[in-house]
Amino acid sequence: MSPARDQVPEFDEGTPGETAEVSGRVVLAKSEITRALRRIAHEILEANKGAQDLVLLGIPTRGAPLARRLAASLHDVEGVEVPVGTLDITMYRDDLRSQPVRQMERMEVPEGGVDGKVVVLVDDVLYSGRTVRAALDTLADLGRTRAVRLAVLVDRGHRELPIRADYVGKNLPTAKSERVSVRLAEVDGTDQVVISGTEGDR
């Protein structure tokens, strides 16, 4: 018997693949998203002492365009092309048996692989930490990285695993009942982060 949906630990996906207008309070507008990504790019370069051996891997759906934007920022700052890819974590999720069958996403590992590289995982929202846990397992099957870092646009708290981000665009304290929607031009046609589901917003 499968457990009821509300008993299943929630996977920290920022937003489902919908593009409809999201109502709520805008917490990050386009310019702020751009600024946050630029700051994260600087922080990555500072911590890594340059761009050598860096690989950016975005977690679908919205982590993938974020990783590409970060790579563009790194290029602007440092003038170096940092390899970018996407990491499909579908097969590594811990809720595969309690959810309907999911279609896999595309996996793109840049040429040169991840062996000996400093991999920066990129995602839109950090929530329970279960996506990141799955991403770490996926990475371990791809090769032996030198280090793994985590960059997220929004950290909304409510971790269910001992995981934290190295680079955060915005820390956003939320209630569990609230919903954080990251919308990106590449997927949704617009750039904004919206928080909805709170009494005060209605």
Partner 1 sequence: MKHLLSIEDLSRDEIEEILDTAVSMHEVQHRDIKKLPTLRGRTIINFFFEDSTRTRSSFELAGKWLSADTINLTGKGTSISKGESLRDTVMTIDAMGVDMMIIRHMASGAPAQIAQWTKCSIVNAGDGTHEHPSQALLDAYTMRNRLGDLEGKHVAMVGDLTHSRVFRSNLLCLRKLGAEVTLVAPPTLLPSGMGPWAQAEDVTVSHDLDAVLPTVDAVMMLRVQRERMSGGFFPTAREYAVTYGLTKERLRLLPDHAVICHPGPMNRGLEISGDAADAAQSLVLDQVSAGVAVRMSILYHLLSGEGTSA
Q: Residues in the site for partner 1, rule: CB under 8 A?
A: 1-2, 88, 91-92, 96-107, 137, 141-143
Smallest gap from Cβ 9 to partner 1, in A, equals: 15
CA distances from 90 to 33, 94, 151, 189 (A): 27, 9, 19, 25
Smallest gap from Cβ 115 to partner 1, in A, equals: 9
Smallest gap from Cβ 8 to partner 1, in A, equals: 10
* Closer Cβ to partner 1, 29 or 96, answer by number: 96
Smallest gap from Cβ 88 to partner 1, in A, equals: 7
* Closer Cβ to partner 1, 48 or 90, answer by number: 90
Sign of CA dihedral 128, 130, 135, 136: positive
CA distances from 52 to 38, 49, 82, 180 (A): 18, 8, 8, 34
* Closer Cβ to partner 1, 96 or 185, answer by number: 96
Which residue do the tokens 């665009």 mark?
169
Smallest gap from Cβ 154 to partner 1, in A, equals: 28
Label each residue of 53-118 as H, E or C.
Answer: CEEEEECCCCHHHHHHHHHHHHHHHHCCCCCEEECCCHHHCCCCCCCCCCCCCCCECCCCCCCCCE
Q: How far is CA 11 from the centre of its chain?
A: 12
- How far apart (Å, rounded) are the C-alpha atoms in residues 145 and 71? 19
* Closer Cβ to partner 1, 91 or 175, answer by number: 91
* Closer Cβ to partner 1, 24 or 129, answer by number: 129
